[in-house]
Amino acid sequence: MSSGLLLAWDFDGCISTSTTIPGPIHPDLVKRLANRNECWAIGNQALKEQTGIPGTDEIWARNGIDPPDPGRATGESAVEIMADPIRLNHHLMAKRVRLIYLAKLFPDAQKIVIDDLQIELKGWTHFLPDDFLQLLRGLR
């Protein structure tokens, strides 16, 4: 699928089952959306495990490259990352790299990233989790 909707999901601060920072979105919603759209886990890979959607390893594999992502397994919690501006900047930069490579897989798709941290990247529309839920409620 090279067109349609591409949803890139963070976990901590977005998904209700996060043990670090719970968010408002239930994993079942991600699963339902993945039935009709491309959904990918770009943050904590616990979302991949809970929903069956692809994640960062698949982004690198499908692009035919070794994982360039230094932030993929730091062992730092979301709380630790957000408390330190340098770690937070590194974390956001790693997510942008993931989004750039994910966009290469679906160049014609409408690209949306759902994250509790503001991510600005050309070609992507960012939604905070609550705002994304409001958007979905408005479409019903």
What would the pLDDT profile of 66-96 be if each residue is shown by its tens digit?
Answer: 886 555 445 566 667 777 778 778 878 999 9
Total number of domains in the chain: 1
% of the chain surpassing 70 pLDDT: 87
Contact 38, 109 (CB under 8 A): yes
Range of the domain at 93: 5-139
Q: What is the mean pLDDT of residues 7-22?
A: 91
Confidence class for position 16, pLDDT limits 50, 70, 90: very high
Q: Write down the pTM of the prediction.
A: 0.88
Structure tokens that stand for 119 in this block: 């991510």
pLDDT of 52 above 70: yes
Is the model's pLDDT at 10 over the cut of 90?
yes
In this prediction, residues 117-140 reach a mean pLDDT of 93
**pLDDT tens for residues 95-120?**
999 999 999 999 999 999 999 999 99
Residue by residue, DSSP assigns 38-68 as EEEE-S-THHHHHH----HHHHHHHHT----
